Amino acid sequence: MLKLGFLIIVRDLRLSMRHGSSTTMVVSFFIIVVTMFPFAVGPEQEILRKISLGVIWVAALLSSMLSLDSMFQSDYEDGSLDQFVLSPAPLELVVLAKFIAHWLSSSLPLILVAPLLGILMNLPERGYVPLIVTMVLGTPALSFIGGIGASLTVTLRRGGVLLSLLILPLYIPVLIFAVLAANAVIDGDPVMDHVLLLSGFTLFSAAIAPWAAAAAIRAGLE
Amino acid sequence: MLKLGFLIIVRDLRLSMRHGSSTTMVVSFFIIVVTMFPFAVGPEQEILRKISLGVIWVAALLSSMLSLDSMFQSDYEDGSLDQFVLSPAPLELVVLAKFIAHWLSSSLPLILVAPLLGILMNLPERGYVPLIVTMVLGTPALSFIGGIGASLTVTLRRGGVLLSLLILPLYIPVLIFAVLAANAVIDGDPVMDHVLLLSGFTLFSAAIAPWAAAAAIRAGLE
Amino acid sequence: MSDILRGYDLACIRGEKPVFSNLEFELPPGQALILSGTNGSGKSSLLKIIAGLLPAQRGRISFFDENILGDQDWISHNICYLAHKNSLKAEMTVAENLAFWAALDQYDGDIREKAVKVGIDHCLDLPVCYLSSGQARRAALARVLCHPGEFWLLDEPTVGLDSKGVRLLADLMADHLDKGGRILAATHIELGLDPAKTTTLNMLDYTFSAHEAFHELFQEPWEEDFQC
Amino acid sequence: MSDILRGYDLACIRGEKPVFSNLEFELPPGQALILSGTNGSGKSSLLKIIAGLLPAQRGRISFFDENILGDQDWISHNICYLAHKNSLKAEMTVAENLAFWAALDQYDGDIREKAVKVGIDHCLDLPVCYLSSGQARRAALARVLCHPGEFWLLDEPTVGLDSKGVRLLADLMADHLDKGGRILAATHIELGLDPAKTTTLNMLDYTFSAHEAFHELFQEPWEEDFQC
Amino acid sequence: MHKFANPARFMRLSNILLPWTTGLTIVLFGFGLYYSLILAPQDYQMGNTYRIMFIHVPASYMALFGYGVIAVASAVGFIWNHPLANQAARATAPLGATFTALALITGSLWGKPMWGTYWIWDARLTSMLILFFIYLGYIAVWQTIEDQAKAAKIAAIVAMIGIINVVIIKFSVDWWNTLHQPATLIRAGGPTIHGDMLAALLLMIAAFNMFFVTLLMWRIQSLILKRRIRTLRLQLGGGRG
Ligand code: HEM
Ligand SMILES: Nc1ncnc2c1ncn2[C@@H]1O[C@H](COP(=O)(O)OP(=O)(O)OP(=O)(O)O)[C@@H](O)[C@H]1O
Ligand SMILES: Nc1ncnc2c1ncn2[C@@H]1O[C@H](COP(=O)(O)OP(=O)(O)OP(=O)(O)O)[C@@H](O)[C@H]1O
Ligand SMILES: [Mg+2]
Ligand SMILES: [Mg+2]
């Protein structure tokens, strides 16, 4: 069982390496979105400092979302999704493996470059560690929730934009808790509550996502 | 000739109306991205006021970009693009028509809802008119430049993310001039320079985009 | 108790369009059932229903007195489904594709040998996007051979194959039947299988009128109190 | 000056893979040229080259002493190309699709009449995503009929068609030939066209060895100083 | 359960009910408007602007009520594959979204005189805004999917996840906001509300509720008829051959 999941993760990671490496592209998108902000809000250090954490998190959300589209879409188009449904591996396992592959290939690299962007955005020094920690705790929830959205829209023609409409509201709790936790550290406030809430939300999404996504795929097949 | 272009515009607009109206979805994405910022940077009215214009413009950029993907992709996948190349309508005309349809179906609605977002983001009252005017002047450039990007990536499998990488840097001049112009109005500074640069950039992109895009499509066919 | 796969009283409605109803079939071991019928008569739909990819409007399919309709577990171990689409990843090579599906379907035979059988071995190291339409179809057929399931559901397997490819396919199907496997295939081409082992099911015998279908959907006569 | 379409010395390399070379063909008015050959022998590639969708490695195609290879203007007014893909928008109805292409290709005949000819008229108001594979192929054939071009390039037009559909297609092709049109078709099926009007081109006569192709690409003897 | 699933029976029942609910809606609105615009006294702080409340509060309740209806109908439709429940969920969505929009609009119109700005990022306002987005997403799902059976299932999943999210959002927004800006701005009423005001408010809420139910029945009827027509048309169009 575990072996099957591992097999799927390896395949998905390999696919994300081929053809111009979608990983590089997610990272570049992340960097570009963040660098647009100094142009958009003006170069004042004070404002940048205040919004830095939020902007980095929003950019991470958007980048992670951007690569969701391909999580099931290409499998659907070439008929592989049907074969996954028919295969002896339970569909819940298949989608879970795909979520993990998505996190590894799109969120993990974001976490690695986030400190660089912190420098660009004038993030206060005490903010780096909380930024990384909240990203580690929060980004899996993005893959899980986003995965539900991807599975809901996969069978729709051009579901891409609908996808964002469905999942962005669900991303908001992650954003709120992550930013609250990181800011609490920066301001020296108590932080455990927020961290627990953030982790709780991630665990909760991990618990429901495989079932919801598998159900959505089964419902969407035609 | 004009008739053919008109035909294509009507077809593309019709397609964007069908199936859950991609227009509605672009607009929703726009609204949602903007509303994420208060969560990310906190609800203080003063900060929101300062970044409002920039955030709205960045969100407009990203939303307009999101719908680019479908500009040629679905035509490529179902073989219509080959037929366009073979049709008596010059490919330059075809892509121009598609750019116009894209602007009508994705940027025009953004311009219409932008004032609402101004309210949410606490945009200063003097900012509304410049926001709208710069959007009218600047968003066509987004469709043109984005269209070049879309045509470059159309023949690549999963070019979506690459697309953003190619065009976001080219969007930055639009962003800079637009925000400078709007801020100049709000601050009561002279504004004509920025407006001229913005319009110039739009005209320039309109002049090169059809040729570049047509060439890219011809080169990409296999 | 019977080792015959039997469909009873099957009905299908797609996108509100009634496709077939009262369909019955029998498939004993070592036999092939060929679905024939005009375009749009519901061949692909029937195969998808049997594979559990489409819900049937009504009816059941029994095997050893169990209803296997929608029984994912049974289906996943016994059925191998070849669709119109090839289920191959364009970015990966043929060998990688086949190895992946074989591992997922828990097949542990020799993949290269199967590839030789469908004449695609010289393309094993090419990415699938470099294949011509017929080569890609052959690769998809190789996947069928690398599946341990006893039941083959083949939806127009000959599409894109040249005449040698069609003969090859017929031989492979005959082999499978000889080994006691069973085949359900939708095709418009005469495959030349042994007539003693082949039954043909004509989809046109099971048409479904809209009137009936509407009752079916809403479970009660409707016209009596509502005319339009 | 000749009204025969003639290909000279055509060669094709795809993705660094040599496909065919020294290919020659002739196509007088009212004639059909059937491309045959095993899977992967280059039939689709040849059609794409003629349609200007793929650059040829070498060679020319002349018509009235002009090289029409890559002459977009000539091609767009004379050639109608049917690919493996159907070029129909899934979200639009069949009628809308046909009307759009007819308008773009500047055809001003009756579309419904053509749809009747391929037996797809009852689906005219259905969105294309509701069609079965054969129905969609028929709709794509209707597009070919709604094209004013004299040259038809058909890439496996019979894919997915039932036997009635294949006969129908053969009749339509015969009609087109009678009117002086010309057809280049890649197919693995015997269409039953008038033998007097049909020539067959076997792609296997024009194989392209890797060695030759290598010279071709680098235009200079290479082996003499480098052996592998 | 399945007896009620029958659309013919629903059509019969709703044809009997509709005239009554329509009449009741009109009567309630008549009284409600009379009470709220004429009988209810002016507020000593807010003057007449407070009368927006008589639209705003019922609309807000209907917005929440609508989502409740969708959630229940979706669950029933998903579990028992109940066609009428699916249609009910679908029919409710645009109504709920409209009332949400109405609550947002009346709220922000009221906000201008009260807070000097149309919008603040207060917890209640924010969660209402997100509810609106969830409504839009739900509607978009129905619009995007042609196949009704499939759309019903997928929309049901969206609705059920949405309800979880509404709860989480409500709670997380409270957290988010209390840290930065204690919500002291809202709440004009409370227990000290004037008797006539209360009567007017209750009447308006009842009127809105009846209005909602009436519209819902109408919409379900028209969805059933639409479906019937589509089936017939598909049969006429898509024969065999
Ligand atoms: C866009 C802005 C607003 C939104 C989205 C909004 C939302 C809501 C909602 C959802 C409710 C009903 C649910 C509940 O009781 O918790 C409600 C009730 C109410 N709102 Fe608003 N509101 C807005 C602005 C205002 C303003 C500006 C005022 C007056 C200063 C106001 C006064 C009230 C009152 C008095 C109630 C009834 C409270 C009760 O009985 O529980 N609202 N609003
Ligand atoms: N996009 C591509 N990139 C690289 N090589 C390709 C590509 N498409 C096809 N080829 C190669 O070119 C050769 C000719 O392909 P083509 O599609 O023309 O064959 P075909 O005669 O149409 O075959 P079939 O009968 O299977 O359709 C094949 O060997 C194939 O591997
Ligand atoms: N996704 C769909 N949504 C709605 N209706 C569909 C869908 N797919 C097919 N249909 C309809 O269902 C009927 C049966 O289609 P199906 O694909 O099963 O036919 P088929 O027998 O396989 O035909 P073909 O020989 O053309 O492949 C057709 O009339 C078609 O219009
Ligand atoms: Mg079929
Ligand atoms: Mg081919």
CA distance A196 to chain E (A): 13
The per-residue pLDDT for D48 is: 94
Domain map of chain C by residue range?
A: 5-226
CA of E23 to the centre of ligand 1 (A): 29
Using a 10 angstrom Cβ sphere, with 0-12 exposed, 13-18 middle and 19 or more buried, the burial of residue E192 is exposed
pLDDT of residue A19: 62
What confidence score (pLDDT) does residue B143 get?
95
Q: How far apart are CA E120 and CA E59, in angstroms?
A: 19
Say if residues A114 and A128 touch (Cβ distance below 8 Å): no
Q: C11: which strand partners?
A: C58
Atom of ligand 2 nearest to the CA of D156: 27
| Sequence-ordered strand ranges (E) for chain D | 5-14, 17-27, 32-36, 58-63, 66-67, 79-82, 151-155, 182-186, 198-202
Q: Residue C53 and residue A8: Cβ atoms within 8 Å? A: no
Residue D198 · residue D35 · CB < 8 Å: no
Compare B107 and E227 and report the one with higher pLDDT: B107
Q: Which tens digit of pLDDT belongs to each residue from A94-130?
A: 999 999 999 999 999 999 999 999 998 888 888 899 9
Between D95 and E238, name the one with better pLDDT. Answer: D95
Query: Across chain E, what does the average pLDDT equal?
Result: 82
Cβ atoms of A152 and A214 closer than 8 Å: no
Whole-number CA gyration radius for chain A: 18
Chain B residues inside the 8 Å CB shell of D101 = 83
The answer on pLDDT for E66 being more than 90 is yes
Distance CA E163, CA E67 (A): 8
Shortest Cα distance, chain A CAs vs residue C187, angstroms: 19
Q: List average pLDDT for each run of 10 residues in chain B, which is 222 residues long.
A: 90 81 83 91 87 94 85 88 92 95 94 94 90 95 93 74 78 92 89 92 95 91 73
How far apart are alpha carbons B169 and A68 in whole angstroms? 23
Q: Taking CB atoms and an 8 Å limit, are E161 and A162 in contact across chains?
A: no
From the number of C-beta atoms within 10 Å of its C-beta (0-12, 13-18, 19+), residue A76 rates as: buried
pLDDT at E192: 54
Answering whether pTM is above 0.80, one says yes
- Alpha-carbon distances, residue E240 vs B21, C38, C185 (angstroms): 31, 8, 20
Q: Single out the residue of D133, D146, C18, C204 nearest to residue E241, CA to CA.
A: C204
Give the chains touching D; criterion: ≥3 Cβ pairs < 8 Å. A, B, C, E
Token duo for residue D108: 């001003």
| Cβ-contact C15, E229 below 8 angstroms | no
CA–chain centroid gap for D181, Å, is 13
State the Cα–Cα distance between residues E4 and E13, nearest whole angstrom.
10
Burial (0-12, 13-18, 19+ Cβ within 10 Å), A24: middle
Nearest CA, atom 16, ligand 3: C42
Number of structural domains chain B divides into: 1
- Cα–Cα dist E88/E69, whole Å: 8
Q: Which residues line ligand 2 (CB under 6 A)?
A: B 222; C 129-135, 160, 162; D 14-15, 17, 19, 37, 39-45
Is residue E240 classed exposed, middle or buried when 0-12, 13-18 and 19+ CB atoms within 10 A define those classes? middle
Asked if residue B184 lies in contact with residue A42, where contact means CB atoms within 8 angstroms, the answer is: no
> B26 to chain D, minimum CA–CA distance in Å?
18
pLDDT at A65 over 90: no
SS3 A67: coil
Q: Is the dihedral of CA A105, A111, A112, A113 positive or negative?
A: positive
By the CB < 8 Å criterion, does D130 face chain E? yes
ipTM confidence score = 0.85
Residues 6+ apart with CB under 8 A from E89: E69, E70, E73, E74, E77, E152, E155, E156, E159
Instruction: Give yes or no for a contact between C82 and C144, defined as CB atoms under 8 angstroms apart.
Output: yes
Q: Does the CA dihedral D133-D135-D140-D144 come out positive or negative?
A: positive
Among residues of chain E, what percentage have pLDDT more than 90? 31
To test the contact with chain A by mutation, choose from E128, E172, E178, E181 the residue with the greatest count of A C-beta atoms within 10 A, namely: E172
Ligand 5 centroid distance, CA of D159 (Å): 11
Instruction: Give, to the nearest 10 degrees, the angle between helix B22-41 and helix B108-120.
Output: 30
- Interface check B88 vs D, CB under 8 A: yes
Amino acid at C214: F
Question: How distant is the Cα of B95 from the closest Cα of chain D, in angstroms?
Answer: 14
| Contact between C87 and C146 (Cβ < 8 Å) | no
Atom of ligand 2 nearest to the CA of D35: 21
pLDDT tens for chain D, 228 residues long, are 688 999 999 999 987 788 999 999 999 999 999 999 999 999 999 999 999 999 998 899 999 988 998 888 899 999 999 999 999 998 899 999 999 999 999 898 899 999 999 999 988 988 898 899 999 999 999 999 999 999 999 999 999 899 999 999 999 999 999 999 999 999 988 888 889 999 999 998 888 877 777 776 665 544 444 444
pLDDT tier, E217 (very low <50, low <70, confident <90, very high otherwise): very high
Say yes or no to pLDDT of E201 above 70: yes
C110-146 b/e with 16+ CB inside 10 Å = b? Answer: ebeebbebbbbbebbebbbebbbbbbbbbbbbbbbbb
Cα–Cα distances (Å) from B64 to C152, D218, E41, in that order, read 47, 45, 50
Which ligand 3 atom is at minimum distance from the Cα of D126? 31
Contact C155, C44 (CB under 8 A): yes
Mutation pick from E135, E144, E146 vs chain B, by most beta carbons of B within 10 Å, is E144
A173 inside 8 A of chain E by CB: yes
Q: Is the pLDDT of residue E4 over 70?
A: no
How high is the pLDDT of residue A133?
94
User: DSSP letters along chain C, please?
Assistant: --SSEEEEEEEEEETTEEEEEEEEEEE-TT-EEEEE-STTSSHHHHHHHHTTSS--SEEEEEETTEE-TT-HHHHHHHEEEE-SS----TTSBHHHHHHHHHHHTT--S-HHHHHHHTT-GGGTTSBGGGS-HHHHHHHHHHHHHT---SEEEEESTTTT--HHHHHHHHHHHHHHHHTT-EEEEE-SS-----GGGEEEEEGGGG---HHHHHHHHHSS--GGG---
Continuous segment of H or E residues that includes residue B122: none
Q: Please list every residue in chain B whose beta carbon sits closer than 8 Å to the beta carbon of residue D14.
A: 222
Q: pLDDT means per 10 residues in chain C (228 residues)?
A: 88 84 93 93 95 90 90 91 92 93 91 93 91 94 94 94 93 94 93 90 86 60 38
Domain that holds residue A104: 2-221
pLDDT at E184: 43
- The torsion angles phi and psi of B190, rounded to 5 degrees, stand at -65, 140
Residue E181 — pLDDT band, cuts 50, 70, 90? Answer: very low
Cβ contacts of B119 on chain E, cutoff 8 Å: 108, 118-119
CB of D162 within 8 Å of a chain E CB? The answer is no
Is the pLDDT at A157 greater than 70, yes or no?
Answer: no
Handedness of CA E92, E95, E99, E105 (dihedral sign): positive
Q: Of ligand 3's atoms, which has the minimum distance to the CA of residue C186?
A: 22
Query: Is B157 within 8 Å of chain C by CB?
Result: yes
CA of B160 to the centre of ligand 5 (A): 28
Which residue's C-alpha comes closest to atom 2 of ligand 3?
D130
Burial of residue D124, with CB atoms counted within 10 A of its CB: 0-12 exposed, 13-18 middle, 19 or more buried: buried
The stretch E223-229 carries a mean pLDDT of: 81
DSSP character at residue E151: H
pLDDT tens sequence across B2-57: 889 999 999 999 888 875 567 888 888 899 899 999 999 888 888 898 899 999 99
- When CB atoms are compared, the residue of C44, C123, C132 closest to D132 is C44
DSSP string, E178-235: HHHS---S----STT--HHHHHHHHHHHHHHHHHHHHHHHHHHHHHHHHHHHHHHHHH
To the nearest whole Å, the CA of C55 is away from the closest chain E CA by 10
Cα(D45)–Cα(D67) distance, integer angstroms: 19
pLDDT tens, position by position, C7-49: 999 999 887 678 999 999 999 999 999 999 999 999 999 999 9
- pLDDT of E180 strictly over 60: no
Q: Using pLDDT thresholds of 50, 70 and 90, give the confidence band for residue E185.
A: very low
Q: Which of B19, B87, B221 sits opposite D104 (nearest CB)?
A: B87
Q: CB neighbours (10 Å) of residue D205? A: 12
Q: What is the largest CA-CA distance in chain B?
A: 58
Render pLDDT for E14-65 as a digit per residue (tens, 0 to 9).
888 999 999 999 999 998 888 888 877 777 676 777 788 889 999 999 999 9
Q: What is the pLDDT of residue D225?
A: 47
For B160-181, b where at least 16 C-beta lie within 10 A, e where not — what string? bbbbbbbbbebbbbbbbbbbbb
Residue C227 near chain E (CB below 8 Å): no
Residues of chain B positioned with their CB less than 8 A from the CB of A17: none
The end-to-end CA distance of chain B, in Å, is 27
Query: What topology is assigned to C5-226 in CATH?
Result: Rossmann fold (3.40.50)
Residue B134 contacts by C-beta under 8 Å, 6 or more apart in sequence?
B57, B177, B178, B179, B181, B182, B195, B198
- What integer is the mean pLDDT of A55-78? 89
Length of chain A: 222
Q: Is D33 helix (H, G, I), strand (E, B) or coil?
A: strand
Rounded Cα–Cα distance for residues C224 and E125 (Å): 50
